[in-house]
Structure 1
Amino acid sequence: MEIRPLSTHTGAEVLGVDLARPVADADRETMYRAFVERSVLVVRDQALRPQQLARAIELFGTILAQHNSRFAIPDCPQIHYVSNQDRYPDGRRYIPGEGWHTDHSNAARPPKATALHAVQLPDEGGDTQYANMAAAYEALPTAMKERIAPLIGIHVYQSSHSARKLMGLSDTDKERVPNAALHPLVRTHPENGARSIYINPIRIEGVLGLDHEEALPLLDDLLEHATAERFQYRHAWKSGDLVMWDNRCLLHKANGDYDMAQTRYLYRVMLQGDVPR
């Protein structure tokens, strides 16, 4: 097994391991350490069925039930699919993952990690971009760090301020999916101690104790700063890639810049996280 960095601050690729076979404890620990240190782990050349993917991801934590069960794989509901072939009820194409966000932040314990496994890809395009929120936090002016240190974000399933609209939930899903959660705008990583900006444009409704006239410009400024190109790693997908990223210190977004006559289809799974602090 070999692990190589993919950028100066984010991303590491893993070569020479087959997650469909038993993985030695030492290799698992090495991969997980790279994940914590580099935030995005790219395991190349995998060919995993849903049940195999579930077993592989359980090397790194406990699988979390995802919010919208309409995307669940019938014979392995822990695994969902991500596809450009779904449409909203009004007929518009649904591009999952559009717009900067972190997954399921409306939960009291948002997922620590999300993993995607490429099954079918377009000939070109469809990259996933990641913004390193720890690096972005470190680059903030001291005055801004002090301003946001005590602030708490209000996270809901679908922010009324978001330009991107999520796919609707079934009545059953609405009963089990958390309605709202309060999380700090600056969270400390429980495993490496790094502090990072923790916002989510798709789910954050406001900031506790601030009116929208103050909160929304602040959130916009933080997002503009944090998603600057110097904090980004852009992943160009290859067939067989399994990519796992750290929701505790990253924003990510998918790009719909490819031929929609071609199918983009990936498996998705999440790992349980902890309460942001």
Structure 2
Amino acid sequence: MTIRHSPINPVLGAEVEGVDLATLSADEFRQLHRIWKQYHVLVLRNQQLDNAQFERFSRMLGELDPPPNQGAGRKSVPGHPDLYVVSNRKSAQGEPLGALGDGEAQWHTDMSYQAVPPIASMLWALELPESGGDTSFASMPAALRSLPPELAARIAGLSIKHDGTYDSGGNVREGLAPSNDPVTSVGTLHPIVISEPETGEPTLYLGRRRNAYIAGLPLAESERLLDEIWAHATAEPLTLRHRWRVGDVVLWNNLTTMHRRDAFPADQFRTLHRSQIKGTRAPRFEPSQEAA
């Protein structure tokens, strides 16, 4: 089949048809990769896969980032240590069988607290609740392009400390102490404006709001400025909402998007397998690579 794609909305996302990830060829991968870099989020419906095939496609994007497997139910897929389970299911003994439970996951970028964060993440839907559990994405290049000029000038050259204390479900990471002080909490500095490493496209890089801190500013000023940036970057015209179907595979660029998840009923089950692709350098802005 010929690979076809349809933009989901004017700023973000494409739904791709004519792709069987289980048998994807090198040439088909190159076509898919070009579409992904243009649209930042790819939705591929009705994928008939096993874990080995899902992992094979993931590795075509780069080296896999193993799941942290620490706290809050983080577990690898049996037999596939580089994949992990996102699920609210529990064992007969009440032990979580996957990460993130059934609550809301607030806007975030995966593992941005690392010095070299992952460049991509991917989810494959195996089991879904009757309602809830939608995943939304926000376009950070579009957010940067549409910033009011005075706000764009204000953030030029500034960096955000990306907090490492909490995960996207609000759980304290293993080995860390709870902290609600953005100035002193554990984290890593990254520029607010970076460029996508392959395309050079300029983009905001925000991470997550909790405990974020703009280095060098008084805390109150940092909070005001971050609130303004977040309100702009997550406004509805810059986002898309994905309503999952079993068999969906969704791939997103972790450097050019943020994402969040809706809560869903605790007595219903949602299970997805996830892969994550390692980054190769710290996020930075390189004007010489800026896209035309």
The match for 2:7 is 5
Q: Tell whether 2:201 aligns with 1:194.
A: yes
Q: Tell whether 2:265 aligns with 1:259.
A: yes
1:105 and 1:150 map into 2 onto residues whose CA distance is 18
The match for 1:30 is 31
The match for 1:119 is 126
User: How many positions carry a matched residue from both structures?
Assistant: 263
Task: Map 1:157-196; keep pairs closer than 5 Å.
Answer: 157-158=164-165, 165-166=170-171, 168-169=173-174, 180-196=187-203
The match for 1:248 is 255
Task: Map 1:1-277; keep pairs closer than 5 Å.
Answer: 1-21=3-23, 23-69=24-70, 70-85=74-89, 94-95=101-102, 98-158=105-165, 165-166=170-171, 168-169=173-174, 180-202=187-209, 204-256=211-263, 258-273=264-279, 274-277=281-284
Q: TM (normalized to structure 1)? A: 0.87
Higher relative contact order (CA 8 A, sep 6+): 1
Q: Pick closer, same or farther for the CA change 1:82–1:170 going to 2, 3 Å.
A: farther
Q: Pick closer, same or farther for the CA change 1:217–1:164 going to 2, 3 Å.
A: farther
Offset at residue 64 of structure 1 (A): 1.2
User: What RMSD, in angstroms, separates the aligned Cα atoms of the two structures?
Assistant: 2.4
1:275 and 1:183 map into 2 onto residues whose CA distance is 8
Q: Pick closer, same or farther for the CA change 1:269–1:164 going to 2, 3 Å.
A: closer
Offset at residue 254 of structure 1 (A): 0.6
Q: Which runs of 5 or more structure 2 residues have no equivalent in the other structure?
A: 177-185, 285-292
Offset at residue 94 of structure 1 (A): 3.2
2:103 and 2:202 map into 1 onto residues whose CA distance is 28
Offset at residue 61 of structure 1 (A): 1.7
Q: TM (normalized to structure 2)? A: 0.83
Q: Pick closer, same or farther for the CA change 1:83–1:53 going to 2, 3 Å.
A: same
Q: Which runs of 5 or more structure 1 residues have no equivalent in the other structure?
A: 172-178
Identity of aligned residues (%): 35
1:88 and 1:131 map into 2 onto residues whose CA distance is 33
Report the more deviating stretch, 78-87 or 126-135.
78-87
